[in-house]
Amino acid sequence: MKLIKVPDAIEVKVERPDGRKFERTLTFVDFVRESVENCETFARGLKNVRKADRILRAVESLDGQSALKIESEDFEALKDAVDKMGWLPAVARRLLPFYEAIESAEDSH
């Protein structure tokens, strides 16, 4: 079991190379949801679909809690999904607190 401390929401304001602006407040829940929902691995096979469902249910039920408790196997899948997520480089840099929260997850009993 892993425990991830949930960081505060992040205000992201970036101008894209084509001049369009990306402005959005992202929560840790948004970060996890978008990473999982955009990872093709979670669409391959019932085991992976269930894993995605467990991760999303856990994160969506946080409701103001300061930490996410997740099974170690699901945690490894979440780390993989986060690593594969294709944020714009300028956006990804601003999301470092979310990446670091996952990276610094602690073992929990």
Q: What is the pLDDT of residues 20-37, one digit of tens each?
A: 888 889 999 999 999 999
Q: What is the mean pLDDT of residues 64-77?
A: 92
Q: Which domain holds residue 31?
A: 2-107
Helices 46-60, 72-84: axis angle to 10 degrees equals 90
* Contact (Cβ atoms closer than 8 angstroms) between residue 62 and residue 70: no
Cα distances (angstroms) measured from residue 98 to each of 18, 45, 50? 26, 28, 23
At 18, the pLDDT band (50, 70, 90 cuts) reads confident
Q: What distance in Å separates the CA atoms of residue 31 and residue 68, rounded to the nearest whole number?
A: 13
Mean predicted confidence (pLDDT) in 73-100: 91
Q: What is the CA radius of gyration of the chain?
A: 14
pTM of the model: 0.88
Q: Is the pLDDT of residue 64 over 90?
A: no
Number of domains the chain is built from: 1
